[in-house]
Amino acid sequence: MQDTVRLTEEYRGGLLDLIHEGYVCVVDENGKVVLHAGDPNAVIYYRSASKPIQALPVIARRLDEQFGLTEEESVIFSGSHLAEEFHIRALRSIIQKAGLDENDLIMKPAVPGSKQADEARIRAGLPPLPIYHNCSGKHLALMLIQRSLGCDVRDYWRMDSVGQREVLRTMSVLSEYPEERFVIGIDGCGVPVFACPMRNIATAFKNLACIDTIRDGTLRAAAARYVSRIHKYPHMMRGTGYLCSRINEDPNIVAKGGANGVYGIGLKKERLGISFKIKDGTEAVWPLLVREIFRQIGYFNPETDAMLLGLHDGLIRNDNDTVVGEVRTVFQLS
């Protein structure tokens, strides 16, 4: 069906100026769709929303313990970092402790996503580097998995590698979706990226939040060791002042976004999984969508609500900080 619904409308001077369409899906602890807007069976790519899932094989094999990684360092395996100083310190520590070679990272040299971090790099006269890429933590995790399975670490990015096959198996278990039905493409950072229905992405985040429902005992134990670390060190999930870090400050929430407008959220006490996708790929209205989804399902944490409002209060401001319009959420879950 692939039908989208209108999620938000932007008004400027009273004129409807911009719309964002997409999908929202909410599942219960059994993976049953209980609320949705748009097609819950629409197939979309996880993009970086998959990172907390792809990190689990490292934890399941206790590679973090084997190499003496701290809990804080291990969280960057799930992050899309901005290359702030604390991110780079953790990445270099992992490389040193685990005996990895930074030159094996396949990404082209990049600059930090943080403006302040990039300005510091320029002042220090440092060149762009692959480690600055926001996915470098995930790549280090993939390198560890590949090597632990006895294969050439330099092949970690290949879909036919044993490491990527293990990642696909993990994605299948957490998403409760057959391996052979995933659509596999190539992500922006050069590794495989996995697509499945919206309902299964929501199911994966339900499983991260409701660890007892993970059907594989080894992965269940890994998630039990790992998810709490995200709440201890949420700054590793993205960076200072960004949604993916701030939302994981709420110990009831496990959440991660990905490129081109996809987001996954698990609610522990409510035992729900949520996914949404903004079809045109925008991320600017993420906080508004999250806040409205929470309102409609009846989830309210005053600190989390204030954080979401602080990131986007629904007003459009121009370059002079003058309010020139507003964004309205217009979808209804049913």
Domain-by-domain residue ranges, the chain? 5-329
Q: With contact defined as beta carbons under 8 Å apart, do 300 and 294 qualify?
A: yes
Q: In the structure, what pLDDT confidence band is assigned to residue 14 with cuts at 50, 70 and 90? A: very high
- CATH of 5-329, picked from 3.40.190, 3.40.710, 3.30.70, 1.10.3470, is 3.40.710
What are the angstrom distances between the C-alpha of 324 and each of 79, 176, 240, 321? 34, 45, 27, 9
Nearest partner of 216 among 254, 182, 273, 176, judged by Cα: 176
Which two structure tokens, joined as six digits, stand for 201?
């992405």
Q: Is the pTM of this model over 0.85?
A: yes
Which amino acid appears at position 91 of this protein? L
> Could you read off the pLDDT of 33-46 as tens digits, one per residue?
999 999 999 999 99
Q: In the structure, what pLDDT confidence band is assigned to residue 70 with cuts at 50, 70 and 90? A: very high
> Could you read off the pLDDT of 116-171 as tens digits, one per residue?
999 999 999 999 999 999 999 999 999 999 999 999 999 999 999 999 999 999 99
Q: In the structure, what pLDDT confidence band is assigned to residue 2 with cuts at 50, 70 and 90? A: low
Q: In the structure, what pLDDT confidence band is assigned to residue 57 with cuts at 50, 70 and 90? A: very high
Q: In the structure, what pLDDT confidence band is assigned to residue 199 with cuts at 50, 70 and 90? A: very high
The pLDDT score that the predictor gives to residue 266 is 98
What mean pLDDT, rounded, does the chain reach?
Answer: 97
Region 283-296 average pLDDT? 98
Which two structure tokens, joined as six digits, stand for 252?
């009831």
Region 216-226 average pLDDT? 98
